[in-house]
Amino acid sequence: MKRRLVLASNNAGKLREFAQLFKPFAIELIPQGQLGISAAEEPFDRFIDNALAKARHASKLSSLPAIADDSGICVDALGGAPGVRSARFAGEHCSDTDNNQKLLSLLAGDLNRKAHYVCALVVVREADDPNPIVVETHWDGEIIDEARGQHGFGYDPYFYVPEHQMTAAELSPERKNAISHRGQALVQLMEQLEKDPFFQKTDD
């Protein structure tokens, strides 16, 4: 049987991306919502710390190994904001549109549009795992003023990738998963999981 791994997220966009990314691997990914697990608090200022808190929370309540990510966009002209508050930049329960409108209003007239996405991925074998598997990656780009593309979520329509002359939302899901911060992080994570004795075993 496949090794079961709880995904500590209720974000629909992330669920879609992770499901696609995990297809090639012998791991059954179980969204925490299917197990009745609510979202964990994210009180920290670092992506890694929030990801670890979410993974431990999901593992504790499910008694299964868990994976969590904390990701967001960091804009140079805003001193790295929104950062860990990317999903709630415009306030609690705000929409992607609200967040993007706030971002663009703060950048109005600013010529420095450099930004990067960050993804911190953490896997814990159990809730109190003293040696969690940790990966953090960046994806560089720029913020543009007009939305482009129909794919992705969050800030993707405004995140322009000069190397590909497209926004993240214009890239096909398959292409985005191959080059994005989350795609890069998963590749690095899988390299570690493949060498980890715990993940060489399967669940009974």
| pLDDT tens digits along 101-131 | 999 999 999 999 999 999 999 999 999 999 9
Residue 1 has pLDDT above 70, yes or no: no
Closest among 68, 44, 48, 70 to 56, alpha carbons compared: 68
For domain 3-200, give the CATH number.
3.90.950.10
pLDDT at 172: 93
Mean pLDDT of 136-151: 97
Among 15-19, 120-124, 171-175, 178-182, which stretch is predicted with the lowest mean pLDDT? 15-19
Distance CA 20, CA 133 (A): 21
Q: What is the pTM of this model?
A: 0.87
Neighbouring CB atoms inside 10 A of 92's CB total: 6
With a pLDDT cut of 90, the percent of the chain lying above it is: 73
Residue 190 has pLDDT above 90, yes or no: no
For 92-169, strand residue ranges (E) read 114-124, 133-143, 159-161, 166-167
**Domain map of the chain by residue range?**
3-200
Residue 204 has pLDDT above 60, yes or no: no
> Which residues carry out catalysis?
70
Using pLDDT thresholds of 50, 70 and 90, give the confidence band for residue 19: confident
pLDDT digits (tens, 9 = 90+) for 48-72: 999 999 999 999 999 999 999 999 9
